[in-house]
Structures are given as C-alpha cells and as structure tokens.
Amino acid sequence: MAVHWFPGHMHKALLEIKQSLSQVDVLIEVLDARIPYSSENPEIAKLRGDKPCLKILNKSDLADPEMTEKWQTHLEKDAGVKTFTNSTDNPAKTKQIIDMIRATCAQKDASIRSINAMIIGIPNVGKSTLINILAQRTIAKTGNEPAVTKNQQRINLGSGIVLLDTPGVLWPKLENPNTGYRLAASGAVKDTAMEYDDVGFFTADFLIKAYPDLMKDRFKLDSLPDTELAFLELAAAKRGALMAGGRVNLHKICEVLINELRSGKLGRITLESPEMLIQEKIEMAELAAKKIADKQKRKQKFKDGSLTPDKKDRKEVREQKRAEQSQRMKKKR
C-alpha cells in the first residue's frame, strides 16, 4: 500500500498558499529533520522561483545529529536556500530565526522595510509551535496530531515582520512510495489514512539495517535477525505483544515501534540520507522511462495493427457471434 492523504481542506490550503506566495518576501519551509527530503513539498519547490527560502530542520532533538549536518550541506547546494536546525528545547536559539529572516531579505532587496514571511510545512511538523516561540505568546493552536491548523493566520511579530501560519499540507501525488511510508512513520499522516502494519514493516526493515545497535538496546536483544518479520516477532515476544494462544500480535508491535520512533524512545533517528534519495530518484526516473517506453510500444502495436492476444481473443469471439447471427438471419429468410 502506498500512503495517500490529501483531504479537501489540504487541497484548499495548498491553493491558498500558492495564491499568497507572490506577496511573500521570504518562505520559511519547516522540514522534519528526520525526513528532510520526504517532508519537502515538491509543489512549492516548483513555484518558489528565486524567492529566498529558509529551511528549518525542525524536531532536530529527535534526529541523528550526524545526518542532520549532512542534510544541511546537501540542501544548501540549492541557490537561495539557507538552513537552520531547530527544536523546542532551545527557545533562545530559535529566536535567531528572526535575524536570519532579516538577513535573507536584506540580501535580496535592501529596500524592504516590512517583511512578510510565510511558514509552510507538512502536517504536525511544528509550525505553530515555532510561531508561538517567535511571538513569545501562545497565539497559534498546537497539538500532537496532523491537521490542527485549518486556516491561514497572520501574526505580527512587531519590528517589521509579519508571519503567516498555514495549515500543514501534503501533495496530491507521492511519486516515491517510500516518501509516503516515511511521512507516516514520522507522524505527518492521520492514523486513519495509514496501515500501521505496512508502515511498521517498512520502518523495521530500515531500522535493523541503519540503526542495529539502537534496536538491540531498546528491545534487549543479543543479536538481530536478517528480516524485519523475524525482528518484529522477537520484539513482540519481549514486549508481550501476543494474542490468545501465544501467537505474535504483529499489529500491536508495529504500533509500539512507530510510537516509540515518533516520541524519540528508540533514540535519535533519521529515516533517510542524501545518498539514499539520489539512488531512489535514479530508480524512479528509470521506472518512469520504462513506463513511457511501454506506452509507446503499445501505441506502435496499435498503429501496426498487431493485436495483443487478449484483443485477438475478443475479436475472434465477436466474429463468431456475428457469423452465428448471420446464419440465423439466413434461416429466417
């Protein structure tokens, strides 16, 4: 199953973000530091043009610090992009964002006096929490579930900066299925729009390969098995996630794994690296090229008149029926 969640309110919110973009001096894209690529909105990337963009790697307290550094270097290769790591445990550092907003705008146009900054990002990434820290008061509603903010909200920070809080949005088509799983694992997708088991298997497969020591520690295992299924079975036995008769409750252990990942109990984990993404992009491009080639082949066959076996069968049946019909007509005459 590929994760898909794009309800009506998100469609509307994405449209409104696109409409407001022209009045915005600087775009603040709040990314999840655990999934900096999967949490980046490709629709906005297409529309941003040369508008300055500050990418906040948020929830960095939950991410692998070494990977966060790698991601910063990778993201800043893009012209006009600056990055900043942020988490709620250091509000004094968070306030540096205000200076960065000013500096970013001054670089582009020194004449800008009043700055409009729009905050965008996937659901549940911490946009409203960030705004409350910058505004030094609880002005935006927050909550540990996706889709808390439903409408745009303007917040005047004083000293010439106006922030626009926006509802968390995903995008209509997740080209890379792994992106869907990572978004779901991080908590950006509503529970009812994902299967815990699918996301749990995907996550377990990644974790036993990328963070084996953290998994051994957390589930008190001497060694790790090779497959995600065997790992989940062992973890379930350790946590008592069993059904009547002692059978393993895979659904339960998948829920445990995802919840502990989201809350940081498994340790500081990043679910993707720049290298993985480069590789996945190549694979997706190959797949897309194959699809186009297959389609062209089908079109060519249609032009040549060479029919597929399936179509041939149907043609024969049609011709047989026509012959029978014609026989019946002849008999009537």
Ligand X SMILES: Nc1nc2c(ncn2[C@@H]2O[C@H](COP(=O)(O)OP(=O)(O)OP(=O)(O)O)[C@@H](O)[C@H]2O)c(=O)[nH]1
Binding site for ligand X (CB under 6 A): 58-59, 61-62, 87-88, 121, 123-129, 142-144, 146-149, 167-168
CA 82, chain centre distance (Å):
21
3-state secondary structure (DSSP) of residue 308: coil
116 versus 142: smaller Cβ distance to ligand X = 142
Stretch that binds Mg ion, among 145-153, 247-255, 256-264, 291-299 (CB under 5 A): 145-153
Least distance CB 62 / ligand X (angstroms) = 5
Q: Which residues in 223-249 are b (16+ Cβ under 10 Å) and which e? A: ebeeebeebbbbbbeebebeeeeeebb
Least distance CB 258 / Mg ion (angstroms) = 21
Please state, in angstroms and rounded to a whole number, the distance separating the CA atoms of residues 233 and 156. 52
- Partner interacting with residue 3 (select from Mg ion, ligand X, none; CB below 5-8 Å by kind): none
Least distance CB 183 / ligand X (angstroms) = 12
Kindly list the strands in the beta sheet with 53-58, ordered across the sheet, starting from the edge strand earlier in the chain: 81-85, 53-58, 26-32, 115-121, 161-165, 153-158
58 lines the binding site for Mg ion (CB under 5 A): no
Stretch that binds Mg ion, among 2-10, 143-151, 156-164, 259-267 (CB under 5 A): 143-151
| Under 8 Å between Cβ of 112 and 151 | no
Least distance CB 240 / ligand X (angstroms) = 27
- Partner interacting with residue 129 (select from Mg ion, ligand X, none; CB below 5-8 Å by kind): ligand X
139 versus 237: smaller Cβ distance to ligand X = 139
- Partner interacting with residue 261 (select from ligand X, Mg ion, none; CB below 5-8 Å by kind): none
Please state, in angstroms and rounded to a whole number, the distance separating the CA atoms of residues 188 and 36. 13
Stretch that binds Mg ion, among 127-135, 234-242, 270-278, 311-319 (CB under 5 A): 127-135
Least distance CB 284 / ligand X (angstroms) = 27
Site for Mg ion (CB under 5 A): which residue of 60, 128, 166, 203?
A: 128
129 lines the binding site for Mg ion (CB under 5 A): no
3-state secondary structure (DSSP) of residue 247: coil
166 versus 203: smaller Cβ distance to ligand X = 166
20 versus 142: smaller Cβ distance to ligand X = 142
36 versus 126: smaller Cβ distance to ligand X = 126
38 versus 149: smaller Cβ distance to ligand X = 149
Q: Which run of H or E residues covers position 162?
A: strand 161-165
For residue 178 the two structure tokens come to 């792994």
132 lines the binding site for Mg ion (CB under 5 A): no
For residue 30 the two structure tokens come to 């709040």
- Partner interacting with residue 121 (select from ligand X, Mg ion, none; CB below 5-8 Å by kind): ligand X
Q: Which run of H or E residues covers position 155?
A: strand 153-158
| Under 8 Å between Cβ of 221 and 212 | no
Q: Which residues in 87-124 are b (16+ Cβ under 10 Å) and which e? A: beeeeeebeebbebbbebbeeeeeeeeebbbbbbbbbb
Site for Mg ion (CB under 5 A): which residue of 149, 178, 186, 203?
A: 149
Nearest to 213 by CA among 253, 272, 263, 266: 266
Please give the residue ranges that form the binding site for Mg ion (CB under 5 A). Answer: 127-128, 148-149
